[in-house]
Amino acid sequence: MAESMPNMLDSRNWLVPPTEHCRRMLPATRRQGMHISKEHQQWVNFSSNDYLGLTTDTRMCQAANDANSQFGVGSGASRLISGDSPQLHTLEKKLAIWKGYEAALVVGSGMLANIGLIQTLANRHTHTFADRLNHASLVDGTRLALAKNHRYPHRDIKTLEGLLQRHTAERRIIVSDGVFSMDGDIADVCAMIALAEAYDTLLIIDDAHGTGTFGADGRGVIQQHHLQGHARLIEVGTFGKAFGGYGAFILGTEELIEGLRQSMRTLIYSTAIPPAATATALQALEIIRQGDRVQALHKNIQRFRARTETLPMLASETAIQPLMTYDDQATLSAANALRAQGFFVAAIRPPTVPTGQSRLRITLSSDHTLEQIKQLCVALHQLVP
Ligand SMILES: *Cc1c(COP(=O)(O)O)cnc(C)c1O
């Protein structure tokens, strides 16, 4: 019967037709520490955002199990209906203190945080100023708000200032990643806060990748530069990366956070995160504050960088270490060759990055062993002689 049905999707082109850039999912059957496996194959994972190895940490699993048995597996409703919990408020207080802001708001995910935040702050008269390499969620937020968006070349503060001089409006927002996800480099947050002051704008910094990883204590890019709590600054962080779980949070003034609680659509019209997600976020915060995981990550970053100095690496001091392979096909071959040797490394190609900018995106974790890093580096040197 299925064969006789007309194929509506294909015939009408509802979806983008598959191209040679077709992305594939890898349904891993098992994850354990830094290993992922599928059927009988196993790889050391050098392409996850599990920077501190917390996704499989026993303390994290225990916290989730305890929350599941105590509170059930779901929150049952939006936070504004009946899905709120004292644990969520405890988590928000602790996050605000840890990051150095007046208040915090926990939401479903980084995608929901950014879309909801910008949609709430901006409207069709607002001008946004965005780094060209910003995360998709920041781009989509400005689109949903119907704001007038101006993109500037990656980390190009001069061009940003020129745009601010040219485009005046009552409400303006500068929007940027903290640590950039594809390049592993860092926004010039000091220069940006200075521009926000000089041109009377807000500044949103999404430090999804820096949270839990960057700076001596892992608090992130903003804290490394002592800018936390600045009245013009709104920071976003997530639980899906170094925190090893799921969910996200927004940091700012008491007034801003209260305003978002009242009107942010992705908060109001979306189910609160499950109790186990709240519990694992609280547990992750405890572990991160102990500091040893963050230090182990930094040590692994140093170990990796020391062994790849002569390779065409992008300059990055973060856990994201891109090795430029430029050519699309060469990148795919390199990733496959690494896979055959037991390393899982992401091949990043267009449209994720511009044509000719393909790369292997290696991400490091505190849980990689010295031996795993050494072996990967040997393999990389063989690929790029
Ligand atoms: C991963 C990421 C997000 C999305 O967060 P999720 O919780 O996975 O939805 C948002 N912004 C940046 C910069 C990210 O890297």
Token readout for 347 is 């091949």
- How far is residue 171's CA from residue 236's CA, in Å, rounded to a whole number? 20
Catalytic (active site) residue 69:
no
Pocket of ligand 1 from Cβ distances under 6 Å: 109-111, 114, 135, 137, 177, 181, 206, 208-209, 238, 240, 248
| Across 144-159, average pLDDT | 98
> Which of 49, 118, 137, 180 for a ligand 1 pocket mutation test, highest count of atoms within 8 Å of Cβ?
137
Tell me: the pLDDT tens digits for 217-237? 999 999 999 999 999 999 999
User: Could you give the C-alpha distances from 184 to 27, 51, 133, 353, in angstroms and in order?
Assistant: 26, 13, 11, 13
Q: Cα(6) to centroid of ligand 1, in Å?
A: 38
Which positions ≥6 away from 116 have C-beta within 8 Å? Answer: 107, 141, 260, 264, 265, 266, 267
Nearest CA to ligand 1 atom 14: 208
Q: Cα(301) to centroid of ligand 1, in Å?
A: 22
Nearest ligand 1 atom, CA 247: 7
The confidence score (pLDDT) of residue 1 equals: 45
Check 135, 209, 230, 298 and give the catalytic one: 209
pTM: 0.94
Is residue 203 very low, low, confident or very high in pLDDT (cuts 50, 70, 90)? very high
Q: Cα(241) to centroid of ligand 1, in Å?
A: 8
User: Half-sphere exposure (CA, 13 Å, Cβ side) for 196?
Assistant: 24
pLDDT at 118 > cutoff 70: yes
Tell me: the pLDDT tens digits for 156-190? 999 999 999 999 999 999 999 999 999 999 999 99
Write the DSSP symbol of residue 1.
-
| Across 348-361, average pLDDT | 92
| Across 125-154, average pLDDT | 97
Nearest ligand 1 atom, CA 179: 13
- How far is residue 246's CA from residue 361's CA, in Å, rounded to a whole number? 22
| Across 241-270, average pLDDT | 98
pLDDT at 375 > cutoff 70: yes
| Across 76-80, average pLDDT | 96
- How far is residue 175's CA from residue 133's CA, in Å, rounded to a whole number? 11
User: Could you give the C-alpha distances from 311 to 177, 236, 315, 327, 381, in angstroms and in order?
Assistant: 26, 33, 11, 16, 7
Is residue 212 very low, low, confident or very high in pLDDT (cuts 50, 70, 90)? very high
Nearest ligand 1 atom, CA 209: 15
Tell me: the pLDDT tens digits for 45-65? 999 999 999 999 999 999 999
Catalytic (active site) residue 181:
yes
Catalytic (active site) residue 35:
no
Is residue 358 very low, low, confident or very high in pLDDT (cuts 50, 70, 90)? very high
Is residue 352 very low, low, confident or very high in pLDDT (cuts 50, 70, 90)? confident
